[in-house]
Structure 1
Amino acid sequence: MGTPPRIRQLRIVVEAEDYDEAVAFYRDVLGLDEEAAIAGAGGALVTILEAGRATLEIANPAQKRLIDEVEVGRQVAPRIRIAFEVDDTATRTAELVEAGAELVAEPTVTPWRSLNSRLNAPAGLQITLFQELDAEN
């Protein structure tokens, strides 16, 4: 038996001024499953949404610029951008725009063979939707 993993889960915690809008967008429109919703003293609320497998992608400034150039055609990403793998980037992008996300860049085929779109979403997050084109569905 191998050594147990030192990290069991990655959680990204985002403060949302419009909590209800953010929960509805990420849970109901994007489709992240609700793992837990907790209310605390003083009106404190948190909803934990399951996002499948998590990775932490560390990129140097040159790589960040390259990704922006490929996906958007100009520098737009903040220091932190959240990316979600989906089965149909075009359809999911349209759904998110209809639900209030701002389209930054239409779905674009990248040199690394994925179909990526970029959106500004609730809670001040810039997100990428990506579909692996060479993956078997």
Structure 2
Amino acid sequence: MTADPPRPVVRQLRLVVEAADHEAAVAFFRDALGLPQEAAFTSEGDAQVVILDAGRATLEIANPAQKRLIDEVEVGRQVAPRLRVAFEVDDAEATTARLVAAGASEVAPPTRTPWQSLNARLDAPAGLHITIFEELVRPDEQAGTHVAEPGRDGDG
């Protein structure tokens, strides 16, 4: 009897974003959004990178119909590019206000979703379209609040 080969183990998801205005992007995500800085490196030719801790990472893969549905629920129209980054926060309204004050453009204000979260859409530095979301019910309570969506964390 042969054993199954070991499954690969992913230890971290790291999203690498090129930002023409590196300082402004770091200030927005580190200082305004509050992502703690883990490390920073500089190299020859003025190469710079700052690594920010974004908490637990998930990879949400949606088909085109789901992407359209999420845009309709959260914004009322199709706005998201192919890639959107979502951040779970404790207070979506206060965080949205803070990020708009720090230079983000509000695409849609915090909106209650059918999956019981409060989601806002912003265009942020570095050309990122982001969702700020606050879970309104505990994950163990969510099962009875909407149609089950296997694998969905609720960030939209």
Scaled to the shorter chain, the TM-score interval is: over 0.9
SS at match of 2:72: helix
Which of 10, 13, 16 is matched with 2:16 structurally? 13
Q: Matches of 1:84 and 1:26 in 2, distance apart?
A: 11
Tell me the C-alpha RMSD between the 2 structures.
Answer: 1.2
CA distance in 2 between partners of 1:12 and 1:106 (Å)? 25
1:111 corresponding residue in structure 2: 114
Moved beyond 2 Å, runs of 4+: none
Q: Deviations over 1:67-104 (max 9, x none)?
A: 00000000000000000000000000000000110000
What does residue 34 of structure 1 align with?
37
Partners of 1:4 and 1:35 lie apart in 2 by 28
Identity across aligned pairs (percent)? 69
1:120 maps to 2:123: yes
* Structure 2 Cα separation of the partners of residues 75 and 64 of structure 1: 9
TM-score (norm 1): 0.95
Q: Which residues of structure 2 form unaligned runs of 5+?
A: 1-5, 140-156
TM score, norm. by length of structure 2: 0.84
Pair 1:70 & 2:57 matched: no
Structure 2 distance, partners of 1:54, 1:45, is 23
CA distance in 2, matches of 1:135, 1:129: 17
CA distance in 1 between counterparts of 2:8 and 2:110 reads 36
Shift of 1:135: 2.5
The residue identity in structure 1 corresponding to 2:46 is: G
Tell me whether 127-136 or 62-71 shows the greater mean CA deviation: 127-136
1:4 Cα offset (Å): 8.1
The amino acid of 1:42's aligned partner reads G
Q: What SS does the corresponding residue of 1:117 show, helix, strand or coil? A: strand
- Residue of structure 2 aligned with 1:98, choices 89, 96, 101: 101
C-alpha distance after superposition, 1:36-56 (max 9, x if no partner): 000011100000000000000
Correspondence for 1:88:
91
For these two proteins, the number of residue pairs brought into alignment is 134
